[in-house]
Amino acid sequence: MALKENSKITPVIGLQWGDEGKGKGVARIASSLSKNDLIARFQGGNNAGHTIWHKNKCYVFKLIPSGVFGKAQIHLGAGMVIDPFAFKKETLTISKETPFLKRISVSPHAVLVIPTHLLLDSIGELKKGNNKIGSTGRGIGPAYTDLVGRNALRVGDIFQNDFQKRYKLLTEQHKKILVNIYNYKIDAREFKDKEKNFFLGVKFLKTLLIINSEKIVSETLNRGNKVIAEGAQGTLLDVRFGNYPFVTSSHTIASGVGTGLGVSPVKIGGAIGIFKAYVTKVGEGPFPTELGGEKSAVWCRDKKFVYEKEIFPNPNLNSKDEFEQGIALRKAGNEIGAVTGRLRRTGWLDIPLLNFAIKINNATDLVMTKLDVLDGLKNLKVCTHYIVNSPRQGGVNKKTQEILFDLARAKIKCVYKSFPVWKGKLSDYGKKLPSEALTYIKFLEKTLGAKIIYIGTGPEEHHVVERYW
C-alpha cells in the first residue's frame, strides 16, 4: 500500500522536567479521536504519573496511555519498560467502568521490569548516597541497563518455553550484585511474594494483543488515521540531551518516537510541546531558576508534604523570601509527585531551557499549563538569559541563552524579566484572559518562536482557554 505522505505521528512532549500536564493534554486530544486512531506510549515505564480528571474522578496513569477514556486504540510501545504486575493493577483501576482491554495492545519488544530491577534501583540509589539521582525506584534504570547490556527479558519472551529458565538466570545475576556488591540481605519471603505477583502480571500480559509497534503504527498511518505518541517524563530528563546524570534512562524527546515505535524520522510530525507557566522538578540535579536555590533542593529532598504543611500552614506567594515563595507556589499548584508523593521543587520559567526543548523536539504548537496557579501573585518572573562564567574563556562573564553541557557544574546567574500579574482569579475572566496574562503569553510566543494553542486554567479537561489572541 502506498504511504500517505501527509500522515505523520504527533508527539506530545514535556518541555521541562516532567509533570507539565501531558496526561491532561493527551486526554483532551483523545476525546476527538475515532476508534481507528491510535495513542501510543513510546518510552519510559511506571515512573510516569499522568493525571487526568474524568467524570469528576482523578486518575493517575503510569503505564496506560492517558487517552484510554476516548475511543482510540491504545498501545504500549517497543521503547517502554513494563512492570507486568503494576500494569495489571493499573488496568484493574479502570477496566470495570471502561472496558478498554479490547482496545489495548503491547509491543513484544518492550522490556519487562522484573522484581530484582526494583531492588537494584532502590538499593543502588541508597548506595550512591549524596550522588543519588532521586529515581522513582520503579526499576526503570536497571531494566534499560539490561536492554543495552543485551540481557533483558522482553514481552515477547513470555511466550517462549525457556522463559522461566531465563527469568531465573537473570534474577540470579541480579541477586549476586545485590548481595555481593551492595551487601544487601534479600528478604526471601517478601521476594517470593513479589515473584508471585510478577508471574500474575505475566499471565495477564498473555491475555492481551501483542503486536509490533511499527506494524500497528504504520497500518494506522496508511489508513489515513491519526497517531499520537504520548511522551513521559520531560525533555530535560532525556538520557542523552537532558541534565545528565540527573535524567531518566530513556529518550524522552520527539526523536525517541522513532526508535520507541519503530518508525522512520520522516514519519514524525511537529510536536505538541507542553510546559508549565513556571517550572517544577522532582529528584536531584541542577535547577537554575529554583525559588530558594540550594535551600529548597535540600528541603524537598528531606521533607515530607505533611511536615511542610505543619511548618508553613499559610506560605506567602508574594514573600520577599524566595524559599517561602517556592513553598507557596508548591501549595498553590499542588506540586506533589504523582508517583512517589515527593515535594516537587519549584521555580520560575526558564527561557534558555524552554527554547532548547522547543527546538530539539520541533515543537510547532505549545500548550502552557497551570497559569491559574499564579493567581494572587503580584509579579511573575521569567529567566530570559544566563550570565555564565566560563573558565575556558578566561573567566569572563557572558550573557547567553545557550543550553550548557554541564548545568550542574556551570557557574551561572539567571537574568530575570518581571511581569505584573492580573487581579483576582483567571476563572473570573471566563474564556478570555486578562490583559496582563496576554502580555506574558505574547512575550513568550515572540521569544520562543512558536504559538501557544491553549492555556491551562485548572486541572480538568475543560479548564482551558483556547487561542483567540
- The residues annotated with a catalytic role in the active site are 19, 50
DSSP letter at 226?
A: -
How many positions of this chain bind ligand IMO (CB under 6 A)?
24
Q: At its nearest, how many Å lie between Mg ion and the CB of residue 469?
A: 28
CA distances from 116 to 109, 147, 167, 187 (A): 20, 15, 10, 12
Residue with cell 508574594: 318
Selected from 24, 138, 226, 385, the binder of ligand IMO by CB under 6 A is 138
Indicate whether 281 belongs to the interface with ligand GDP (CB under 6 A): no
d(CA 334, CA 351): 23
Task: Output 40 or 153, the one with its CB closest to Mg ion.
Answer: 40
d(CA 216, CA 91): 21
Selected from 9, 11, 17, 23, the binder of ligand GDP by CB under 6 A is 23
Within 251-290, the residues that bind ligand IMO by CB under 6 A are 282-283
Q: Are 65 and 74 in contact (CB under 8 A)?
A: yes
d(CA 57, CA 350): 33
Task: Output 202 or 339, the one with its CB closest to ligand GDP.
Answer: 339
Task: Output 49 or 256, the one with its CB closest to ligand GDP.
Answer: 49
Q: At its nearest, how many Å lie between ligand GDP and the CB of residue 73?
A: 20
Among 348, 311, 310, 305, which Cα is nearest to 329's?
A: 348
Indicate whether 134 belongs to the interface with ligand IMO (CB under 6 A): yes
Return the range that interacts with ligand GDP (CB under 6 A); candidates 12-20, 91-99, 249-257, 442-450: 12-20
Instruction: Decide: helix, strand or coil at residue 275.
Output: strand
Q: At its nearest, how many Å lie between ligand GDP and the CB of residue 124?
A: 24
Q: From residue 445 to residue 464, what is the string marking binding to ligand GDP with x (rule CB under 6 A)?
A: -----------xxxx---x-
Indicate whether 345 belongs to the interface with ligand IMO (CB under 6 A): no
In sequence order, which residues have a C-beta less than 8 Å from that of residue 124 and are 6 or more positions away?
141, 142, 182
In sequence order, which residues have a C-beta less than 8 Å from that of residue 302 and are 6 or more positions away?
none
Q: Which positions touch Mg ion (CB under 5 A)?
A: 19, 49, 338
Neighbours of 127 (CB within 10 A): 13
Q: Are 291 and 346 in contact (CB under 8 A)?
A: yes
Selected from 11, 16, 20, 354, the binder of ligand GDP by CB under 6 A is 20
What is the CA 253 to chain-centroid distance, rounded?
10
Q: At its nearest, how many Å lie between ligand IMO and the CB of residue 64?
A: 12
Q: From residue 344 to residue 383, what is the string marking binding to ligand GDP with x (rule CB under 6 A)?
A: -------------------------xx-xx----------
Indicate whether 90 belongs to the interface with ligand GDP (CB under 6 A): no
Q: Nearest-5° angle of CA 275, CA 106, CA 53?
A: 40
Q: Are 469 and 452 in contact (CB under 8 A)?
A: no
Instruction: Decide: helix, strand or coil at residue 348.
Output: coil
Instruction: Decide: helix, strand or coil at residue 132.
Output: coil
Indicate whether 133 belongs to the interface with ligand IMO (CB under 6 A): yes
Task: Output 24 or 226, the one with its CB closest to ligand GDP.
Answer: 24
Selected from 136, 171, 225, 361, the binder of ligand IMO by CB under 6 A is 136
Indicate whether 49 belongs to the interface with ligand GDP (CB under 6 A): yes
Indicate whether 273 belongs to the interface with ligand GDP (CB under 6 A): no
How many positions of this chain bind ligand GDP (CB under 6 A)?
21
Task: Output 10 or 233, the one with its CB closest to ligand IMO.
Answer: 233
d(CA 47, CA 124): 16
Query: HSE (CB half, 13 Å, CA atoms) of 333?
Result: 32
Indicate whether 458 belongs to the interface with ligand IMO (CB under 6 A): no
In sequence order, which residues have a C-beta less than 8 Å from that of residue 255 and are 6 or more positions away?
265, 268, 360
Q: Rule CB under 6 A: which residues touch ligand GDP?
A: 14, 18-24, 49-51, 338, 369-370, 372-373, 456-459, 463
Q: Rule CB under 6 A: which residues touch ligand IMO?
A: 14, 17-19, 47-50, 133-136, 138, 140-141, 232-234, 237, 248-249, 282-283, 338
